Structure 1
Amino acid sequence: MAVDVVTEIVINRPVGVVAEYVGDPSNAPEWYVNIESVQWRTEPPVAVGSRMDFVAHFMGRRLAYTYEVIELVPQERLVMRTAQGPFPMETSYHWSAVTDGSTHMSLRNRGEPSGFAGVAAPLMSAAMRRSNQKDLARLKSLLETS
Protein backbone atom coordinates (compact mmCIF):
# COMPACT_ATOMS: atom_id res chain seq x y z
CA MET A 1 0.00 0.00 0.00
CA ALA A 2 1.28 3.44 -0.93
CA VAL A 3 1.89 6.33 1.42
CA ASP A 4 0.76 9.70 0.06
CA VAL A 5 0.43 12.53 2.58
CA VAL A 6 -0.17 16.18 1.67
CA THR A 7 -0.04 18.86 4.36
CA GLU A 8 -0.65 22.56 3.76
CA ILE A 9 -0.24 25.86 5.60
CA VAL A 10 -0.28 29.60 4.98
CA ILE A 11 2.80 31.41 6.26
CA ASN A 12 2.67 35.18 6.66
CA ARG A 13 5.94 35.78 4.83
CA PRO A 14 6.64 36.37 1.12
CA VAL A 15 7.18 33.38 -1.19
CA GLY A 16 10.86 34.26 -1.66
CA VAL A 17 11.54 34.12 2.09
CA VAL A 18 9.69 30.82 2.62
CA ALA A 19 11.13 29.13 -0.48
CA GLU A 20 14.69 30.23 0.32
CA TYR A 21 14.51 28.90 3.87
CA VAL A 22 12.68 25.62 3.16
CA GLY A 23 14.62 25.07 -0.08
CA ASP A 24 17.89 24.90 1.85
CA PRO A 25 18.04 21.35 3.27
CA SER A 26 20.56 22.53 5.88
CA ASN A 27 17.64 24.23 7.66
CA ALA A 28 15.56 21.03 7.93
CA PRO A 29 16.71 20.09 11.48
CA GLU A 30 15.50 23.50 12.71
CA TRP A 31 11.88 23.00 11.67
CA TYR A 32 11.43 19.24 11.21
CA VAL A 33 11.11 17.77 14.70
CA ASN A 34 12.17 14.29 13.56
CA ILE A 35 15.22 15.28 11.48
CA GLU A 36 18.40 15.08 13.49
CA SER A 37 20.98 16.04 10.86
CA VAL A 38 21.66 16.80 7.21
CA GLN A 39 25.06 16.34 5.56
CA TRP A 40 25.67 17.49 2.00
CA ARG A 41 27.18 14.91 -0.38
CA THR A 42 27.40 17.52 -3.12
CA GLU A 43 28.32 21.18 -2.80
CA PRO A 44 25.55 23.62 -1.86
CA PRO A 45 23.47 25.42 -2.95
CA VAL A 46 20.62 23.09 -3.84
CA ALA A 47 20.27 22.23 -7.55
CA VAL A 48 18.92 19.35 -9.60
CA GLY A 49 21.23 16.44 -8.82
CA SER A 50 22.18 17.69 -5.33
CA ARG A 51 22.43 14.88 -2.77
CA MET A 52 22.15 15.08 1.02
CA ASP A 53 22.30 12.46 3.79
CA PHE A 54 19.51 12.78 6.36
CA VAL A 55 19.27 11.15 9.78
CA ALA A 56 15.81 11.13 11.33
CA HIS A 57 13.73 9.43 14.01
CA PHE A 58 10.24 8.32 13.07
CA MET A 59 7.84 5.96 14.82
CA GLY A 60 10.55 5.04 17.32
CA ARG A 61 13.14 4.11 14.70
CA ARG A 62 16.32 5.79 13.54
CA LEU A 63 16.33 6.30 9.78
CA ALA A 64 19.30 7.20 7.59
CA TYR A 65 18.66 7.97 3.95
CA THR A 66 19.98 10.00 1.03
CA TYR A 67 17.80 12.46 -0.86
CA GLU A 68 18.53 13.57 -4.41
CA VAL A 69 16.94 16.70 -5.85
CA ILE A 70 15.04 15.70 -8.98
CA GLU A 71 13.18 18.93 -9.71
CA LEU A 72 13.72 22.57 -8.78
CA VAL A 73 11.71 25.57 -9.92
CA PRO A 74 12.98 28.49 -7.80
CA GLN A 75 10.32 29.99 -5.52
CA GLU A 76 7.74 27.50 -6.81
CA ARG A 77 8.68 23.83 -6.32
CA LEU A 78 11.38 21.52 -4.95
CA VAL A 79 11.16 17.74 -5.30
CA MET A 80 13.58 15.27 -3.67
CA ARG A 81 13.63 11.49 -3.86
CA THR A 82 15.48 8.98 -1.72
CA ALA A 83 18.46 7.50 -3.50
CA GLN A 84 18.82 4.88 -0.76
CA GLY A 85 17.26 4.16 2.60
CA PRO A 86 14.51 2.16 4.30
CA PHE A 87 11.92 2.59 1.54
CA PRO A 88 11.57 4.73 -1.57
CA MET A 89 10.16 8.14 -0.64
CA GLU A 90 9.60 11.39 -2.49
CA THR A 91 9.21 14.72 -0.71
CA SER A 92 7.98 17.79 -2.53
CA TYR A 93 7.47 21.38 -1.49
CA HIS A 94 5.23 23.79 -3.42
CA TRP A 95 5.00 27.50 -2.73
CA SER A 96 2.56 30.07 -4.10
CA ALA A 97 1.67 33.62 -3.14
CA VAL A 98 -1.61 34.15 -1.32
CA THR A 99 -0.94 37.89 -1.06
CA ASP A 100 2.22 39.93 -1.47
CA GLY A 101 3.20 39.02 2.06
CA SER A 102 1.78 35.50 2.52
CA THR A 103 2.69 32.11 1.10
CA HIS A 104 0.66 28.94 0.69
CA MET A 105 2.99 25.99 1.18
CA SER A 106 2.26 22.33 0.62
CA LEU A 107 4.44 19.47 1.78
CA ARG A 108 3.89 16.09 0.14
CA ASN A 109 5.47 12.78 1.12
CA ARG A 110 4.76 9.74 -0.98
CA GLY A 111 6.33 6.35 -1.38
CA GLU A 112 5.89 2.61 -1.67
CA PRO A 113 7.00 0.91 1.55
CA SER A 114 7.57 -2.83 1.34
CA GLY A 115 7.71 -5.69 3.85
CA PHE A 116 6.53 -4.77 7.34
CA ALA A 117 6.56 -1.09 6.43
CA GLY A 118 4.09 -1.87 3.64
CA VAL A 119 1.70 -3.54 6.06
CA ALA A 120 2.01 -0.57 8.41
CA ALA A 121 1.43 2.01 5.65
CA PRO A 122 -1.93 3.25 7.03
CA LEU A 123 -0.35 3.83 10.46
CA MET A 124 2.68 5.45 8.83
CA SER A 125 0.44 7.79 6.84
CA ALA A 126 -1.44 8.92 9.94
CA ALA A 127 1.78 9.42 11.92
CA MET A 128 3.38 11.26 9.01
CA ARG A 129 0.36 13.57 8.67
CA ARG A 130 0.47 14.45 12.40
CA SER A 131 4.22 15.00 12.27
CA ASN A 132 4.04 17.15 9.14
CA GLN A 133 1.31 19.32 10.67
CA LYS A 134 3.55 19.94 13.68
CA ASP A 135 6.55 20.61 11.44
CA LEU A 136 4.67 23.15 9.32
CA ALA A 137 3.34 24.87 12.44
CA ARG A 138 6.91 25.08 13.74
CA LEU A 139 8.10 26.43 10.37
CA LYS A 140 5.34 29.06 10.41
CA SER A 141 6.32 30.12 13.91
CA LEU A 142 10.04 30.32 13.03
CA LEU A 143 9.51 32.34 9.87
CA GLU A 144 6.84 34.67 11.23
CA THR A 145 8.90 35.62 14.28
CA SER A 146 12.21 36.17 12.47
Structure 2
Amino acid sequence: MVDVRTEIVINRPAAEVAAYAADPDRAPDWYANIRQVEWRTPKPLAVGSEVAFVAQFLGRRLAYTYRVEEWEPERRFVMRTAEGPFPMETTYGWEPLGASATRMSLRNAGEPAGFSRLAAPFMARMMRRENRKDLRRLKEILEAAPVS
Protein backbone atom coordinates (compact mmCIF):
# COMPACT_ATOMS: atom_id res chain seq x y z
CA MET A 1 0.00 0.00 0.00
CA VAL A 2 1.22 3.47 -0.88
CA ASP A 3 -0.30 6.32 1.13
CA VAL A 4 1.30 9.75 0.70
CA ARG A 5 -0.13 12.88 2.33
CA THR A 6 1.30 16.37 1.97
CA GLU A 7 -0.05 19.78 2.89
CA ILE A 8 0.70 23.47 2.55
CA VAL A 9 -0.72 26.78 3.76
CA ILE A 10 -1.74 29.08 0.91
CA ASN A 11 -2.45 32.73 1.67
CA ARG A 12 -5.74 32.86 -0.22
CA PRO A 13 -9.34 32.15 0.84
CA ALA A 14 -10.44 28.51 0.72
CA ALA A 15 -13.00 29.25 -2.02
CA GLU A 16 -10.25 30.50 -4.35
CA VAL A 17 -7.81 27.70 -3.56
CA ALA A 18 -10.44 24.99 -3.99
CA ALA A 19 -11.87 26.45 -7.20
CA TYR A 20 -8.44 26.58 -8.82
CA ALA A 21 -7.02 23.29 -7.49
CA ALA A 22 -10.13 21.21 -8.26
CA ASP A 23 -10.38 22.45 -11.85
CA PRO A 24 -8.92 19.63 -13.98
CA ASP A 25 -8.16 22.08 -16.79
CA ARG A 26 -5.73 23.88 -14.44
CA ALA A 27 -3.87 20.69 -13.43
CA PRO A 28 -1.06 21.10 -16.02
CA ASP A 29 -0.39 24.60 -14.62
CA TRP A 30 0.60 23.35 -11.18
CA TYR A 31 1.26 19.61 -11.51
CA ALA A 32 4.72 19.32 -13.05
CA ASN A 33 4.08 15.80 -14.36
CA ILE A 34 0.66 16.29 -15.95
CA ARG A 35 0.94 16.94 -19.66
CA GLN A 36 -2.63 16.65 -20.91
CA VAL A 37 -6.22 16.67 -19.64
CA GLU A 38 -9.34 15.55 -21.47
CA TRP A 39 -12.87 15.57 -20.09
CA ARG A 40 -14.66 12.27 -20.76
CA THR A 41 -17.97 13.56 -19.41
CA PRO A 42 -19.59 17.00 -19.83
CA LYS A 43 -18.54 19.89 -17.59
CA PRO A 44 -19.02 21.13 -14.89
CA LEU A 45 -17.25 19.01 -12.30
CA ALA A 46 -19.62 16.77 -10.35
CA VAL A 47 -19.70 13.38 -8.67
CA GLY A 48 -19.41 10.88 -11.51
CA SER A 49 -17.39 13.17 -13.79
CA GLU A 50 -14.56 11.41 -15.62
CA VAL A 51 -11.34 13.13 -16.65
CA ALA A 52 -8.45 11.52 -18.53
CA PHE A 53 -4.90 12.59 -17.75
CA VAL A 54 -1.58 11.97 -19.46
CA ALA A 55 1.40 12.30 -17.14
CA GLN A 56 5.13 11.67 -17.10
CA PHE A 57 6.41 9.99 -13.94
CA LEU A 58 9.81 8.37 -13.40
CA GLY A 59 10.50 8.61 -17.11
CA ARG A 60 7.34 6.77 -18.08
CA ARG A 61 4.23 8.02 -19.85
CA LEU A 62 1.12 7.28 -17.82
CA ALA A 63 -2.42 7.59 -19.16
CA TYR A 64 -5.29 7.14 -16.76
CA THR A 65 -8.87 8.24 -16.18
CA TYR A 66 -10.09 9.49 -12.84
CA ARG A 67 -13.71 9.33 -11.76
CA VAL A 68 -14.92 11.93 -9.24
CA GLU A 69 -16.16 10.06 -6.16
CA GLU A 70 -16.76 13.01 -3.81
CA TRP A 71 -17.06 16.74 -4.44
CA GLU A 72 -17.77 19.12 -1.59
CA PRO A 73 -16.80 22.57 -2.93
CA GLU A 74 -14.33 24.40 -0.68
CA ARG A 75 -13.95 21.33 1.54
CA ARG A 76 -13.12 17.97 -0.10
CA PHE A 77 -12.51 16.46 -3.53
CA VAL A 78 -11.87 12.73 -4.15
CA MET A 79 -10.99 11.10 -7.49
CA ARG A 80 -10.28 7.43 -8.11
CA THR A 81 -8.97 5.28 -10.92
CA ALA A 82 -8.88 1.50 -11.06
CA GLU A 83 -6.98 1.06 -14.31
CA GLY A 84 -3.33 0.27 -14.92
CA PRO A 85 -0.68 -1.26 -12.69
CA PHE A 86 -1.20 1.30 -9.93
CA PRO A 87 -4.86 2.05 -9.07
CA MET A 88 -4.93 5.34 -7.19
CA GLU A 89 -7.21 7.52 -5.11
CA THR A 90 -6.39 11.23 -4.89
CA THR A 91 -7.96 13.38 -2.19
CA TYR A 92 -7.77 17.15 -1.84
CA GLY A 93 -8.82 18.84 1.38
CA TRP A 94 -9.20 22.53 2.15
CA GLU A 95 -9.32 23.97 5.66
CA PRO A 96 -9.90 27.72 6.07
CA LEU A 97 -7.40 29.41 8.37
CA GLY A 98 -9.22 32.65 8.95
CA ALA A 99 -10.61 34.66 6.05
CA SER A 100 -7.51 34.79 3.88
CA ALA A 101 -5.51 31.57 4.27
CA THR A 102 -6.14 27.90 3.56
CA ARG A 103 -4.46 24.67 4.57
CA MET A 104 -4.60 22.40 1.53
CA SER A 105 -3.87 18.71 1.84
CA LEU A 106 -3.11 16.34 -1.02
CA ARG A 107 -3.28 12.58 -0.45
CA ASN A 108 -2.49 9.81 -2.92
CA ALA A 109 -3.26 6.26 -1.84
CA GLY A 110 -3.24 3.05 -3.82
CA GLU A 111 -2.38 -0.61 -3.97
CA PRO A 112 0.25 -1.28 -6.64
CA ALA A 113 0.28 -4.60 -8.49
CA GLY A 114 2.98 -6.56 -10.31
CA PHE A 115 6.36 -4.87 -10.59
CA SER A 116 4.89 -1.67 -9.15
CA ARG A 117 4.39 -3.51 -5.85
CA LEU A 118 8.16 -4.09 -5.55
CA ALA A 119 8.85 -0.44 -6.29
CA ALA A 120 6.16 0.90 -3.90
CA PRO A 121 8.53 2.27 -1.20
CA PHE A 122 10.59 4.10 -3.82
CA MET A 123 7.43 5.34 -5.56
CA ALA A 124 6.06 6.67 -2.27
CA ARG A 125 9.22 8.73 -1.69
CA MET A 126 9.11 10.08 -5.24
CA MET A 127 5.40 10.88 -4.99
CA ARG A 128 5.93 12.75 -1.72
CA ARG A 129 8.73 14.81 -3.29
CA GLU A 130 6.67 15.58 -6.40
CA ASN A 131 3.55 16.42 -4.37
CA ARG A 132 5.52 18.90 -2.26
CA LYS A 133 6.83 20.59 -5.41
CA ASP A 134 3.35 20.66 -6.94
CA LEU A 135 1.80 22.23 -3.83
CA ARG A 136 4.58 24.84 -3.70
CA ARG A 137 3.86 25.68 -7.37
CA LEU A 138 0.13 25.97 -6.61
CA LYS A 139 0.93 28.30 -3.71
CA GLU A 140 3.16 30.46 -5.96
CA ILE A 141 0.47 30.73 -8.65
CA LEU A 142 -2.35 31.58 -6.25
CA GLU A 143 -0.42 33.99 -4.06
CA ALA A 144 0.82 35.88 -7.15
CA ALA A 145 -2.72 36.24 -8.56
CA PRO A 146 -4.53 39.55 -8.09
CA VAL A 147 -6.80 39.63 -5.06
CA SER A 148 -10.42 39.30 -6.16
Structure 2 length normalisation: TM-score?
0.96
The answer on whether the counterparts of 2:85 and 2:114 sit within 8 Å (CA) in structure 1 is no
Sequence identity percentage: 61
The answer on whether the counterparts of 2:28 and 2:34 sit within 8 Å (CA) in structure 1 is yes
Structure-to-structure mapping, 1:30-109, within 5 angstroms: 30-109=29-108
Q: Unpaired runs of 5+ in structure 2? A: none
The answer on whether the counterparts of 1:24 and 1:45 sit within 8 Å (CA) in structure 2 is no
The answer on whether the counterparts of 1:96 and 1:103 sit within 8 Å (CA) in structure 2 is yes
Q: What's the RMSD between the two structures over aligned residues?
A: 0.7
In structure 2, distance between residues paired with 1:26 and 1:101:
24
Structure-to-structure mapping, 1:11-30, within 5 angstroms: 11-30=10-29
In structure 1, distance between residues paired with 2:5 and 2:143:
22
In structure 1, distance between residues paired with 2:8 and 2:98:
14
The answer on whether the counterparts of 1:63 and 1:86 sit within 8 Å (CA) in structure 2 is no
In structure 1, distance between residues paired with 2:23 and 2:11:
19
The answer on whether the counterparts of 1:66 and 1:85 sit within 8 Å (CA) in structure 2 is no
In structure 1, distance between residues paired with 2:139 and 2:102:
10
The answer on whether the counterparts of 1:49 and 1:70 sit within 8 Å (CA) in structure 2 is yes
Q: Unpaired runs of 5+ in structure 1? A: none
In structure 1, distance between residues paired with 2:113 and 2:84:
12
In structure 1, distance between residues paired with 2:84 and 2:26:
21
Output the amino acid matched with 2:70: E
Point out 4+ residue stretches in structure 1 off by more than 4 angstroms. none
The answer on whether the counterparts of 2:69 and 2:78 sit within 8 Å (CA) in structure 1 is yes
Q: SS state of the match for residue 97, structure 2?
A: strand
